[in-house]
Structure 1
Amino acid sequence: MIQPSNKNRIVYLDVLRVLAMLMVIMVHVGDAYLFNAETMTFETEASLFAVLLRSSVPLFIIMSSILLLPIKKDNTSFFKRRFTRVVIPFLIWSIIYVFLPIPNEIAFGGPANTFTDSGLNVFLYNLMMVPFNFTGSNVHFWFLYIILGLYLFMPIISPWIKTASKRSLIFFLSMWGITLFFPYLRLYFPQIHGECDWNDFGMFYYFGGYLGYVILGYFLHHHNRLKAGQSMAIGAILFIVGVIVTYWGFIHDQNAFFKTLALSHVENWKLIEFNISFLSPNVVIMTAGVFMLFQNIKLSAFMKRVFTELSVFSYGIFLVHYIITLWITAWLHNSMMINPGLEQFLLTVLTFSISYGIVKPISFFPRSNYIIG
């Protein structure tokens, strides 16, 4: 049963949340398609998808800022709701993922584990690390640690953002924009603006990081006064430019990857992520473009209800989708005898549908918010 539409909901955010969730799933499905270990090549279509979908995580951060800032209740109420709706389900599923069987020996990604080699059981290690960092068992939760950190900061910036002028917001975003180029500058000057071996906190440190997406989301939501057609046109241009630059950088990094195979696995993947970093100027441009493309979207009453339904369960879908993704790609990867790009898309839709089919029945149980948010 599709939930009735809530008049207080922001329609375009429901659409963006569903889109971002599909993008996240497609990224994780794409892990099975991106790199061919037999031929030691990166697949072209999967590489293009990896670039096109790069806005997924930043979009979630942007939407959080729009929905939560400025904080309308006291800090205790704010944190209590975040704890019950986000933290508890995150902790529960982090523990579940430690024990879930996976089709491959090691799930993709996760920080280096320096303890299990010395005898500490991997299950115990993964359980122990849940409060501190993600591991190979819950690698897809990496950005929840970022989100939780931003939640902690929101009560601090809420009074400022409530009264901040457009010019003040632009000033912050300008400083943030400068910091986005620092990784490239550090290729030639490793330490800049007061940084040194014993001090990582340079002059622009406090303008950097994912907080910029929080301010960007608030700015676009409250200060984008362009007409719908103008907003869509500029959004399309930003997205296309961002995609071209990001794809070029990604191909460059792939070539560098093969030139440095003597490096550790971790160092190799650092190279791959360099130009498609979520905190690169090109990905920021892409994200702003996607946001502006959908900011003035109009839907029929029925489609509003559909997107409301899927949006309400998006966090639960995110929590459960990864294990489904691993098994589905293990079973069906390259078995459909169709175009790999189409196969990746179909497996994404299948994973999304199964995840929704799991989350929806759970929602009928009492206190289900502790499980699916």
Structure 2
Amino acid sequence: MTQKQEKNRIPQLDILRVLATLMVITVHAGDIYMYDAKTMSFGTEASVIAVLLRSCVPLFIIMSSILLLPIKTDTTTFFKRRFSRVVIPFLIWSIIYVFLPIPNEIAFGGPSNAFTDLGMNVYLYNLMMIPINFTGSNVHFWFIYIILGLYLFMPIFSPWIKTATKKMLVFYLSLWGITLFLPYVHLLFPQIQGECDWNSFGMFYYFGGYFGYVILGYFLHHYNSLSITKSVAIGSILFIVGTIVTYIGFKSDQNAFLHKIISSNVEDWKLIEFNISFLAPSVVIMTAGVFMIFQKIQISGLIERLFKELSVLSYGIFLIHYILVLWIGNWMQDILIINAGIEQLLIALLTFLISYCIVKLISLIPKSKYIIG
């Protein structure tokens, strides 16, 4: 790390990066507790934890926007750094995951597509799909495909954000906020504002999606002038309100899912993601709340060094954790007979610690940035 990078380091983002990484691992540790097909029931503890930690993915986008926008290098340098630090490790671990054994035949598979039913060798299929989309072998990398798309757009967006006023940013976020409610409007009116069967690109189409988190992160970073006390207080209110609304919606989704099984014997997993989507309004509120809570927390000394150490290795921890959480979860579920929520947290903590140790050893290898970022 250069002296310039060290000087520009934001300790609060180290805390959030470590927290978000642990949150992702904890959510994945709860997969085995979320749904029991035999009893057709959802685990209460896993459901609560899933909702409480739902802001994990959006937090990564917010942090990326703060660190990267406006872009301070030429476009070529920007993409070279993203390629060496993000893309190459992602490709390497995607290939590794194709051949790693998992404790169960299927974890949570990738999306169906034109190649799924061709009967080709599963290893060949998973390898072939890496540049296109995630599969059952690297399902936890679905987010990487999104973040890479955001990286591609950032150099185009950067000149605007350099000159954007507060009012312009609020205008953009307001339009993005409208798009967050469109899925609910579509339940009653499938085609609105320029949409029809042969054209799904409605009026607000280009303001929707994950890029709103990029602008939200930039806005909060530059325009949250509240004191630490007020920022934590308002952030806590936003988190609590967002969490309650998200949980109520998630329970509704679960009931709709179970009704679909009982009525038509079909497991429609899309129903589960409706109110807990990362682009659901309540999840956006939660994410803004979490960020505001930690945005102005001051740390120093040993604690700051600890979070910096974990933060530097967090991408590597994310890359390797999934295979570990599957095996550790499978092992601990058999030997532990305690509360499911406690089991989930123990699995996540053990996975995080082991992942850190492995990534730390890899970091000692020359050119390790191409392996762990």
> Shorter-chain-normalised TM-score: which range?
over 0.9
Shift of 1:290: 0.1
| Match runs of 1:267-282 below 5 Å | 268-282=268-282
CA 1:336–1:130 in 2, change beyond 3 Å: closer, same or farther?
same
Shift of 1:334: 5.1
| Match runs of 1:30-69 below 5 Å | 30-69=30-69
Q: Is the 8 A contact 2:193 2:202 kept in 1?
A: yes
Q: Which runs of 4+ in 1 moved over 6 A?
A: none
Report what 1:211 is aligned to: 211
Q: 1: distance between equivalents of 2:368 and 2:12? A: 26
2:124 equivalent to 1:101: no
Shift of 1:203: 0.6
Q: 2: distance between equivalents of 1:228 and 1:269? A: 40
Shift of 1:259: 0.9
Q: 2: distance between equivalents of 1:284 and 1:250? A: 15
Report what 1:26 is aligned to: 26
Report what 1:123 is aligned to: 123
Report what 1:152 is aligned to: 152
Shift of 1:87: 0.4
Which range is displaced more, 96-105 or 329-338?
Answer: 329-338
Shift of 1:348: 0.6
Shift of 1:113: 5.1
Q: 1: distance between equivalents of 2:265 and 2:369? A: 44
Report what 2:372 is aligned to: 372
TM-score, length-scaled by structure 1: 0.96
Report what 1:337 is aligned to: 337
Deviation readout 1:107-135 (Å, 9 max, x if unpaired): 21310255354321111111000000000
CA 1:140–1:121 in 2, change beyond 3 Å: closer, same or farther?
same
Aligned length: 367
Deviation readout 1:156-179 (Å, 9 max, x if unpaired): 110110110000000000000000
| Unaligned segments of structure 1, at least 5 residues | none
Shift of 1:37: 2.1
Q: 2: distance between equivalents of 1:225 and 1:75? A: 31
Q: Is the 8 A contact 1:61 1:147 kept in 2?
A: yes
Secondary structure of the structure 1 residue equivalent to 2:18 = helix
Shift of 1:197: 1.1
Q: 1: distance between equivalents of 2:153 and 2:52? A: 30
Q: Is the 8 A contact 1:116 1:122 kept in 2?
A: no
| Match runs of 1:195-234 below 5 Å | 195-234=195-234
Report what 2:135 is aligned to: 135
Deviation readout 1:2-32 (Å, 9 max, x if unpaired): xxx9443101100000000000000100101
> Over the residues paired in the alignment, what is the CA RMSD in angstroms?
1.2
The residue type paired with residue 127 of structure 1 is: L
Report what 1:248 is aligned to: 248
The residue type paired with residue 314 of structure 1 is: S
The residue type paired with residue 200 of structure 1 is: S
Report what 1:91 is aligned to: 91
| Unaligned segments of structure 2, at least 5 residues | none
Identity of aligned residues (%): 72
Which range is displaced more, 24-33 or 103-112?
Answer: 103-112
